[in-house]
Amino acid sequence: MALRPDEFYDHALAAADGEHRLPLARMTGWEISPFEAGGLRVAPLRPPVLPEPPRHGEDPADCVSCRHRDDGLWLNDNWRLTRVPGVGVPLVLMLHPRDHHDMADLPDELAAELGLLSTRIVRHIQALPHISRAHLYRIGDGGAHLHIWFFARPLGQSQLFGSWLVVWDDLLPEYPADIADADAALVVDALLASHGGTRPVR
């Protein structure tokens, strides 16, 4: 059984200093870390907050994703694909179910399609010129409506490997939107051919 919130906090504090600051993460010693360890400090660990605050869109009536269920670059009966603007890596796409679901309550038929659809989106992103990998993330702490992130890692940028990519994305200058739009259109073309669906009428 997982530790209770108070037990988890006490366990973590046992490794912290007098200000409740944990040592720097092992990841900061990796050569792909965007930070030099000498200038970093870990924020103090705060005690648990219970009950946890609600996520955005817990009530479907207040869910932004539900309000935009017919918007995006690509749609089918169950899913929609959008491009996330203002990012530093070449392309960030997001896949949302059109109906209000989170991962844990996703019906089996949608879960099966999610697996196939995610695989196809990754293939199509990685087929773009000058893209090496497509990273796929599901986090779910901010929004209650399921959203799957796809981050394109630029070819040759080995410092952007792995789990630090999303941090590098936040540090890099904004990628040219016209190039990202053109690459997103190529992904949509390939998705239409491999999975069907439509482009929404704008």
Report the chain's mean pLDDT, rounded to a whole number: 95
Helix (H) or strand (E) holding 170: helix 165-171
Sign of the CA dihedral running 58, 60, 66, 67: negative
Task: Output the pLDDT for position 27.
Answer: 85
> How many whole angstroms separate alpha carbon 178 and alpha carbon 149?
20
96-128 pLDDT, tens per residue? 999 999 999 999 999 999 999 999 999 999 999
37 pLDDT band, cuts 50/70/90, is confident
Stretch 135-145: mean pLDDT? 96
Q: Which residue pairs from 1-4 have beta carbons closer than 8 angstroms and sit at least 24 positions apart in sequence?
A: none
Secondary structure of 109-152 in HEC code, one letter for each residue: HHHHHHHHHHHHHHHHHHCCCCEEEEEEECCCCCECCCCEEEEE
* Whole-angstrom distance, CA of residue 61 vs CA of residue 9: 35
The domains of the chain are located at: 1-54, 63-195
What is the pLDDT confidence band of residue 39, given thresholds at 50, 70 and 90? confident
Distance of CA 194 to the CA centre of its chain: 23
pLDDT (tens digit per residue) in 145-192: 999 999 999 999 989 999 999 999 999 999 999 999 999 999 999 999
pLDDT at position 80, please?
A: 98
Residue identified by tokens 């410092």 is: 159
Q: What integer is the mean pLDDT of 52-76? A: 96
pTM metric for this prediction: 0.92
The pLDDT of residue 63 is 97
CATH architecture of 63-195: 2-Layer Sandwich (3.30)
| 131-137: strand order across its sheet | 74-75, 79-83, 92-97, 148-154, 131-137
Token pair of 19 as six digits = 């200000």
Give mean pLDDT, residues 87-101.
97
High-pLDDT (> 90) share of the chain, %:
91
45-58 pLDDT, tens digit per residue, is: 999 999 999 999 99
Which two three-digit tokens encode residue 111? 């879960």
* In the predicted structure, residue 201 carries a pLDDT above the cut 80: no
| Nearest in space to 56 (alpha carbons), one of 9, 102, 120, 106 | 102
Whether the predicted pLDDT of 38 surpasses 90: no
